[in-house]
Structure 1
Amino acid sequence: MMVPAVLLLLGALTAVLAPRLLARAQWPEREPVVALWVWQCVVAATLLCLGLSMLLSAAAAWQAVRGRLFAVAPHGVVDAYALGAAGGRWATATAVALAFGGLWTGAMLTREVLRARARRRARGAELLLRAPLLPGEEPGASRLVVLEGPRPEAWWQPGAAPQLVVTTAALGRLKGSQLDAVLAHEQGHVAARHDWLLHCSRALSRGFPQVPVFAAFEAEMHRLVELAADDVASRRYGRLTIALALVGLNEDRGAFGPCPAPQTHVSLRVRRLLSAAPRLSAGRRLRLTALATLVPAVPLLVTFVPGLSALA
């Protein structure tokens, strides 16, 4: 039963080596959208390795699963995988363990989605309490809600009619088109559905905290989605505008002091915007995207090669 074992080994190597290789790369900060796609492909390849290994291990362990999985396969394909001869306890234990991991992943994702909905409802109720609707005003009629507040804050309130919420202190800090740049930044998050990336990465990281690729996936998603949204705003209003907006919203939080640990990513984002590093060439972006797209194809190739060889 070589194919399930090879898939497990390939998944383990991807989970360990991919975060290290991507951590050494210098281009993700210049192309965060491409980096987001690369990370998604790496995680998809890891999950695909585990899922395919689970199916083949279950087929090796139980004749009923094997019959359904290879029901339409021509004669000789099952023999090419040598599943029957190498079943036994190892195949059963592998299939059960991977199936439990799949169920646990689904449970973690469901929990994360439910918690996100609960947080959204709580923030929506708090927003209505702090900024009640005027007589005749429809919910979500305005894209911008201003709240009284001593701290400069701005956030995007999701929902059927998403709204940008800013405090009066933020309005006092944001000059000229800086407020428009913040709005464009938040709209960039919404348009790219960054919330789903964050939910999935958080679910995988908390469900499997010992797996390096999932922990790195969550950390990089939080960083890269902000860089990608910064680029959306900078293309419309300029890098300096969004950089000044970030400074105005975070300078009272110790983000730019000698020890900016709580908000280190903010200072790095500002430096990145001000440095204005050139983008990669279109050809290199295309090559990176194509190469990342091929990564999930590797476990598929490993899985289907024995069957295709039997048909040749």
Structure 2
Amino acid sequence: MVLPLALLILGGLVAAVTPRLLTRADWPDREPVLALWVWQCAVAAVLLCCVLAMALSGAAAWEAVRGHVFAPAPRGVVEAYALRSYGPWAGAVSALLALGGVWTAAMLTREVRFSRARRRHRAAEVSARSPWLPGERPAEERLVILEGERPHAWWLPGTAPRLVVSTAALRRLDRRQLDAVLAHEQGHARARHDWLLHCSAALATGFPQVPVFAVFRDQVHRLVELAADDMASRRFGRLTTALALVGLNEDRGVFGPCPTPLALVPQRVDRLLTPAPRLSAARRLRLTAAAALVPVVPLVVAFGPALAALS
């Protein structure tokens, strides 16, 4: 039972250390894409520790599981893990971790279903308010204009993705600002930020007692917006992107002293107007490589006895 316990301790250590390191560092705001990569590697390492601990505990508790886990392995490798010495708790630990995996899959499925339902509802609403006229071809259109007294703009995904903009937003934004909004939303779509949001929300909802998943969800919501802002600013400039953000949100009370659900907008505007220098290419490469090695550590721990036996 030592090896599964070591994997669980390793996963707990990564889950405890990662939020403290990343939330206290100043570089994630300067490199949001890199920060998203580091977060994903850390969370993947935590989940991998649980999966490996489940597999080893299950192999120790049940012969059927052992046959699947160690099917291609020689006898010396199986003996190196000393599965018979794990004790009576191996089955309970494996079953508990397996239930956690099933629960995670259920939460992710629910999150995706709710998202698709919201998307279908929004698409039906847009179609009802802005029906296609005779001769129009939806696949070639990427902009839909809706009557509205408040400035709104959002990306409507689907077979024919479109940017939906209210008439109030058109009156307030000029052409370049509108293009910056379009580039921002296209940045979300191209990077598939929706799947990252779904996964982080599923983990945080399914395991509210695990702090790292809640921090992961909050950081993903923030970092994907910063990353999309950078995509827009690289094409149309930081000032244009910042002005577009202000134009869309200045009537929502987000720039006042009272906090609102959109309180991230002032921080995004300040970041665009007073950009901090990016990390050097060498440091970005080091951080990328270090993050990629984090999920490798559980694999080394789990396969260590097998490699020792084969050598």
TM-score of the superposed pair, with normalisation by structure 1: 0.98
Q: Which residue of 1 aligns with 2:264?
A: 265
Matched residue of 1:241: which SS? helix
Q: Which residue of 2 aligns with 1:146?
A: 145
Q: Which residue of 2 aligns with 1:4?
A: 4
Q: Whole-Å Cα distance in 2 between the matches of residues 86 and 117 of structure 1?
A: 44
The code of the aligned residue for 2:52 comes to: L
The code of the aligned residue for 1:38 comes to: V
Matched residue of 2:28: which SS? coil
Deviation at 1:76, TM superposition (A): 1.4
Deviation per CA, 1:12-38, whole angstroms, max 9, x where unpaired? 111122111111111000000000100
Q: Which residue of 2 aligns with 1:19?
A: 19
Matched residue of 2:144: which SS? strand
The code of the aligned residue for 2:167 comes to: T
Is residue 212 of structure 1 aligned with residue 211 of structure 2?
yes
Q: Whole-Å Cα distance in 2 between the matches of residues 68 and 164 of structure 1?
A: 49
Is residue 251 of structure 1 aligned with residue 243 of structure 2?
no
Kept in 2: contact 1:234–1:241 (CA 8 A): yes
Identity fraction in percent = 69
Q: Whole-Å Cα distance in 2 between the matches of residues 102 and 76 of structure 1?
A: 30
Deviation per CA, 1:30-70, whole angstroms, max 9, x where unpaired? 00000010010011000000000000000011122112211
Q: Which residue of 1 aligns with 2:37?
A: 37
Q: Whole-Å Cα distance in 1 between the matches of residues 182 and 239 of structure 2?
A: 15
Q: Which residue of 1 aligns with 2:124?
A: 125
Deviation per CA, 1:155-175, whole angstroms, max 9, x where unpaired? 000101100000000011112
The code of the aligned residue for 2:66 comes to: R
Is residue 85 of structure 1 aligned with residue 46 of structure 2?
no
Matched residue of 2:27: which SS? coil
Q: Whole-Å Cα distance in 2 between the matches of residues 129 and 184 of structure 1?
A: 26
Q: Which residue of 1 aligns with 2:135?
A: 136
Q: Which residue of 1 aligns with 2:194?
A: 195
Matched residue of 1:123: which SS? helix
Number of residues of Structure 1 aligned to a counterpart in Structure 2:
311
Q: Whole-Å Cα distance in 2 between the matches of residues 281 and 192 of structure 1?
A: 23
Kept in 2: contact 1:178–1:245 (CA 8 A): yes
Q: Whole-Å Cα distance in 1 between the matches of residues 278 and 7 of structure 2?
A: 36
Q: Whole-Å Cα distance in 2 between the matches of residues 271 and 149 of structure 1?
A: 28
Kept in 2: contact 1:178–1:244 (CA 8 A): yes
Q: Whole-Å Cα distance in 2 between the matches of residues 2 and 120 of structure 1?
A: 47
Deviation at 1:79, TM superposition (A): 1.6
Q: Whole-Å Cα distance in 2 between the matches of residues 31 and 18 of structure 1?
A: 16
Matched residue of 1:92: which SS? helix
Q: Which residue of 2 aligns with 1:180?
A: 179
The code of the aligned residue for 1:202 comes to: A
Of 116-125 and 16-25, the range deviating more from structure 2: 16-25
Q: Where does 1:271-310 land on structure 2 (aligned, <5 Å)? A: 271-310=270-309
Matched residue of 1:150: which SS? coil
The code of the aligned residue for 1:147 comes to: L
Deviation at 1:247, TM superposition (A): 0.4
Kept in 2: contact 1:140–1:163 (CA 8 A): no
Q: Whole-Å Cα distance in 2 between the matches of residues 64 and 184 of structure 1?
A: 53
Deviation per CA, 1:183-217, whole angstroms, max 9, x where unpaired? 01011001100010001111111000111111011
Q: Whole-Å Cα distance in 1 between the matches of residues 86 and 203 of structure 2?
A: 31
Deviation at 1:263, TM superposition (A): 1.7
Q: Which residue of 1 aligns with 2:57?
A: 57
Structure 1 runs not aligned, ≥5 long? none
Matched residue of 1:76: which SS? helix
Q: Whole-Å Cα distance in 1 between the matches of residues 224 and 78 of structure 2?
A: 44
TM-score of the superposed pair, with normalisation by structure 2: 0.98
Kept in 2: contact 1:243–1:273 (CA 8 A): yes
Kept in 2: contact 1:31–1:280 (CA 8 A): yes
